[in-house]
Structure 1
Amino acid sequence: MTTVPEGYSYGPWHDGPDPLAPPADLRDALDEIGRDVLAGSSPRSALEELLRRGTRGTPGLDELTRRVWRRRAEIQRRHRLDGTLRDVRRLLDDALDAERAALFPDPGDDARFREARLDALPTGTAAAVRELADYDWVSERGRENYDRLRELLGRELLDARFSGMKDALRRTTPEDVERVNQLLADLNALLAAHARGAKDIDERFAEFLRRHGEFFPERPRSVEELIDVLAARAAAAQRMLNSMTAEQRADLAELAREAFGDPRLAQQLSTLDAQLRALRPGEDWTSSARFRGGDPLGLGDGMRAMTELAELDALAEQLAQSYPGARLEDIDADALARQLGADAAVDARRLAELERELRAQGLFERGADGSLRLSPKALRRLGETALADVVRSLRGRAGERDTASAGAAGEPTGTSRPWRFGDTQPWEVSRTVRNAVLRTASRGGGVVRLDVSDVEVAETEHRARAAVALCVDTSWSMVQEGRWLPMKRTALALHQLIATRFRTDALQLITFGRYATPVELAELVGMEGTWEQGTNAHHALLLAGRHLRRHPDALPVVLLVTDGEPTAHLDRDGTAEFAYPPAPRTLAATLAEVDRLAKLGAAVTVFRLGDDPRLTGFVDLLARRAGGRVLAPDADGLGAAVVGDYLRTRRAG
């Protein structure tokens, strides 16, 4: 750490996420959510999909989950659970080899008898250890190894249930064994008193910690916390036993009675496990895992491996976010850092921050039915993006100027832009002079003279008002042919343009399948594609005419987007009649509505999606009857075609 003269000190940051990290990019996140919503996903599922997929520079929940499962597989692939049995067998074999080496030079009958007893030992490790419990060893090394294996068993059994006990008992004396037995007796008595509801349990707990607190580094503050700690470890130990073979479990159960050469230890541990299982039945006592590696683990290390697997399973569940009320704040960042490293915890915090900010910024709201939907603020942002894409497409057209320009005469919009050759808008004088002054100052000062590059013109908008009906086909073919998303983005772009640049215009969005319906932008954006037969252009044009009549002082504009000829019309009783191929009555009703729009002086433009000859013939007829025109953009060019035609019609009006 370095200290600077002003008294400030600098060093690495260790307390949570990087305070200098850039904030979550909500615009990019909203664009991704918007694409999914426009494609038919609900806002909730779109948000969940974004969090699963991640953002630029931040892995998503799916990637973190993949790494969790890979870590889990590594543990199982690397280890095996017979470490204690192998160590006991190795110590037993060493003891027997040393004993036979000591007996071989002795010619006496006692030596031969001892050799015969050793040769008659059972082949199983546990049975052999039990048979040697009362054997009087001749070899000092043999006696030491036999005592070591009994101590090893005791330490491993305790290490599987008490943190740090194995190291504390590395050199075990008879006094240590007695103290362990007293600890277990007192613990079992405490748990039994708690189970029967003893009124003085707090005093009993305090006295227990006073006598044995050094064996509980977790420092539990109550009996309940003590039970939680012990039950979690005991359950992990049981899962480890479940993961062994039946033969291995039987050997361990038999060897446990030889731990420290004192059968009381196994009895006390059995009683402890039974009490913990009764007090915490919700712990996982029954599952198992398959270990297939070459690195043998002892009982204590095996229990810790099972604890790691349980922690990884919990992380996988948290990352899946599949349970009711799931939030990213539920993810245990500390556990994630332990298992996958600090970077993974940072990634999870960033995703949680992104989710929190998306909600806090008011980009989602609850509908009347309780469902999550995009807020007007979010729709405006999506509209800005959609309109920007359309403007870029319009600018790319050869020989055309920026058709998003507000116009050449009329009311100022309050904005300005650099002058371009051919512009007739009035100058924005104050900004023009400011540009000249700044340019002169940047070059060392002097006399201020205007340059063409300094000139800015004031943008204006037409004073004419328009009533616009955008009718969009929502029949199943639009979904099937990949036109659903472009249709929604077109509506967003047009809505954004009118809401920001032509505020006096009245826009009505109308969807039509078997029936037509006026909709708000949020309804259209959140609409899911459904299987529905019928393209009721008649009903859509009928609603469009009603909208135009409500605004008799406005320029009437009808924009019809469809990929199919009309196959339904509205009868007098309000029901839709469907027929394919189109019935003459359907065609006549649709054209009659077109004639009514023509009498209103409406500018009707049909945007034909697809090359079906029957569709082409019908829309050409429709355009001739209305005095309008037909445009045939591809799906990607639909937005530019609709917005461009709206601007052209408005300028012409």
Structure 2
Amino acid sequence: MRITRYSKFEGELDQLDSAELMQMIQEALLGQGMNDPWDPDPDTRPSMDDLFDAILQALMDRGMIPEEMLEEAMNSDDIQESRLGQQIQRLMDKLQMDGFIRKEFEEDPQAAQGGQGQPGEAKFQLTDKSIDFLGYNSLRELMGGLGRSSAGNHDTRDYASGIDMTGELKNYEFGDTLNLDTTQTLSNVISKGFENMEESDLVIRQAEYSSSAATVVLLDCSHSMILYGEDRFTPAKQVALALAHLIRTSYPGDSLKFVLFHDSAEEVPLSKLAQAQIGPYHTNTAGGLRLAQQLLKRENKDMKQIVMITDGKPSALTLPDGRIYKNAYGLDPYVLGQTLREVASCRRSGIQINTFMLARDPELISFVRRVSEMTKGKAYFTTPTNIGQYVLMDYMSNKTKVVN
């Protein structure tokens, strides 16, 4: 394996390429969901100071900062005013100029009340370019773990289901699609004459049928996804970004949407996914399934599926009057019953639920298996380390089937 030793970097730090810098801070950008594990705030947005700290940490981890410059910065009253701080500021400006981030200001509430209207702390938003970059990097890392160098990409004018030849030959049987292999068929007929041709002389070339799919990824962002010192939410977001890039580049006829579920559930656009946060606390699986069904009913695709990534038991419900019913202890019979009603509704609509479970509680295992049986879906009991490989393998294996 080729190893790059960043400690041999020469020149000014602010000469770093923006793409290389984005790769260095990718984990920090996706890990913003792990804010305060005891009091998560879903509305928290990363600031420019957070970006400064992420770049500083990445440079330090790779030994790219000269010792004298680092010592000078650590001894300064304000590290951002030091030589090192100024170079990092220029790197941040370059990220903005190259279109990877967009700097924004949040209005200071106190200043606004006083009539001054002064901007508050500077925040940053990831752009479509950076989302695509993070998705590509995530896909490359996950596909590398599968032993693949890259995802296949077949350009087509028709953004829908299609048929690709596999190259395998077989004798024609009644009911087969007549993808005739003329060379082999003529070879069988020419010696005895066309007037003596029989059905058994026909040879066809088999093909793979690639179905069009509509997918909703249900991401659990309840408290447990960052509890107990383990960040499960960041790997889940990484998988979602990789899947989005895979579909955009290799399966352009497919559709993909994202739903976060916690006390309630809401759709989140791809552009906001990387900076999504954990919280609130509970797991409204029924609400997530209900919203996913609404989104899938608008799609006209061969296959409709829900990919649910979670680590917790259903513990919340949205009542008809809009109130949230919660019970964090065990599988509440009322919560479980309403959740299974939504699962049954998915089954009636022909929607498959594939669950990727990040926990191992016996009660939870039983619940997940029941969901899979009801919708003829699959259940994967995995970990944050390898969940991405399972999700990608499952998606690609569902895409094709051999047709004759």
TM-score normalized by the length of structure 1: 0.44
Quick check: 2:166–2:208 contact (8 Å CA) kept in 1?
no
CA contact (8 A) 1:394 1:403 kept: no
CA contact 2:313–2:330 (8 Å) conserved in 1: no
Matches within 5 A, 1:243-392: 316-318=76-78, 320-321=79-80, 331=82, 351-366=88-103, 369=106, 371-392=123-144
C-alpha contact 1:44 1:373 (8 A) present in aligned 2 = no
**1:62-211 matched pairs, under 5 angstroms:** 64-67=69-72
Shift of 1:619: 0.3
Listed as ranges, the gaps of 5+ residues in structure 2 are 1-9, 34-45, 107-121, 159-164, 169-206
1:368 and 1:520 mapped to 2: Cα distance? 21
The higher-RCO structure (CA 8 Å, 6+ apart) is 2
Following TM superposition, by how much is the alpha carbon of 1:354 offset from its aligned partner in structure 2, in angstroms?
2.4
2:16 pairs with 1:24: yes
1:507 Cα deviation from its structure 2 partner: 0.8
CA distance in 2, matches of 1:18, 1:478: 41
Task: Determine which structure has the larger strand proportion and give its number.
Answer: 2
The answer to whether 1:651 aligns with 2:388 is no
Which residue identity does 1:467 align to in structure 2? A
Alignment partner of 2:284 out of 529, 532, 536: 536
For 1:501 and 1:519, locate their aligned partners in 2 and report how far apart those are by CA, in whole Å. Answer: 23
Partner of residue 632 from structure 1, selected from 369, 381, 398: 381
Q: Report which of the two has the higher share of helix.
A: 1
Take 2:314 and 2:85, find their aligned partners in 1: how far apart are those partners? 51
Give the secondary-structure state (helix, strand or coil) at the position aligned to 1:635.
Answer: coil
Instruction: Give the superposition deviation at 1:470.
Output: 0.3
1:65 Cα deviation from its structure 2 partner: 4.8
Instruction: State the distance in 2 between where 1:22 and 1:527 align.
Output: 29
**Contact 2:354–2:372 (8 Å) recurs in 1:** yes
Q: Which amino acid aligns with 1:66?
A: E
**Pairs within 5 Å for 1:406-425:** 406=153, 411=156, 424=167
Identity of aligned residues (%): 24
2:294 counterpart (542, 546, 553): 546
Distance between the aligned counterparts of 1:43 and 1:461, measured in 2?
A: 48
Shift in Å, 1:385? 0.5
Residue 18 of structure 1 and its aligned partner are, at CA, apart by 6.2
Partner-residue secondary structure (3-state), 2:283: coil
Q: Contact conserved, 1:406 with 1:462, CA < 8 A, in 2?
A: no
CA contact (8 A) 2:210 2:399 kept: no
CA drift of 1:356 comes to: 2.8
Paired residue secondary structure (2:277): coil
Compute the displacement of 1:544 (Å).
0.8
Distance 2:273 2:394 in 1: 21
Match of 1:34 in 2: 26
- Within 2, Cα distance between the matches of 1:59 and 1:584? 57
- Residue equivalent to 1:47: 51
Structure 1 pair 500–473 and aligned structure 2 pair: CA distance change class (3 A): same
Taking the aligned partners of 2:156 and 2:74, their CA distance within structure 1 comes to 63
CA-to-partner distance for each residue in 1:321-360, whole Å, 9 max, x for gaps?
2xxxxxxxx65x6xxxxxxxxxxxxx67754542332121
Task: State the alpha-carbon separation in 2 of the partners of residues 652 and 571 from structure 1.
Answer: 42
Counterpart AA for 1:33: I
Matched residue, 1:562? 310
1:59 shift after superposition? 1.0
Do residues 503 (structure 1) and 252 (structure 2) align? yes
Distance 1:30 1:374 in 2: 11
Amino acid at match of 2:217: L
- Kindly indicate whether the alpha-carbon contact (under 8 Å) linking 2:96 and 2:103 is maintained by their aligned counterparts in 1: no
Query: What secondary structure does 1:566 align onto?
Result: coil
Offset of residue 554 of structure 1:
4.2
Q: Secondary structure at the match of 1:559?
A: strand
Partner of 2:324: 576
- In structure 2, C-alpha distance between the alignment counterparts of 1:605 and 1:471, rounded to whole Å: 10
CA gap 1:551/1:66 in 2 versus in 1, 3 angstroms = same
- The amino acid of 2:292's aligned partner reads A
Alpha-carbon distance, 1:25 to partner: 3.0
Please give the secondary structure, in 2, of the residue aligned with 1:317.
coil
Following the alignment from structure 1 to structure 2, what is the Cα–Cα distance between the partners of residues 510 and 571? Answer: 19
| Whole-Å separation in 2 of the counterparts to 1:478 and 1:489 | 14
Report how far residue 487 of structure 1 moved.
0.9
Q: Distance in 2 between matches of 1:470 and 1:63?
A: 48
Q: Is the 8 Å Cα contact of residues 52 and 92 (structure 2) preserved in structure 1?
A: no
**1:47: how far off?**
2.0
Alignment-derived partner of residue 110 in structure 2: none
Q: Please tell me whether residue 471 in structure 1 is matched to residue 218 in structure 2.
A: yes
Partner of 1:299: none
Q: State the Cα distance separating 1:508 from its structure 2 match.
A: 0.9
Q: 2:18–2:98: 8 Å Cα contact kept in structure 1?
A: no
Letter in 1 for 2:71: R
> In the superposition, relative to structure 1, how do residues 403 and 544 fare at CA in structure 2: closer, same or farther (>3 Å)?
farther
Could you list the runs of 5+ residues in structure 1 that have no partner in the other structure?
1-16, 71-315, 322-329, 334-346, 397-401, 414-421, 426-459
| 1:51 positional shift | 3.5
RMSD across aligned positions (CA): 3.3
Equivalent pair of 1:54/1:351 in contact (CA under 8 Å): no
Structure 2 distance, partners of 1:465, 1:545, is 17
Alpha-carbon offset, residue 485 of structure 1: 1.4
For 1:40, what is the secondary structure of its paired residue?
helix
Q: CA deviation at 1:629?
A: 1.2
Equivalent pair of 1:605/1:629 in contact (CA under 8 Å)? yes
The one-character-per-residue Cα deviations of 1:577-635 (angstroms, maximum 9, x if unpaired) are 11122221211111111111112222210111111111101000111111111011211
1:620 pairs with 2:352? no
Q: Which one of the candidate residues 47, 55, 64 is aligned to 1:58?
A: 64
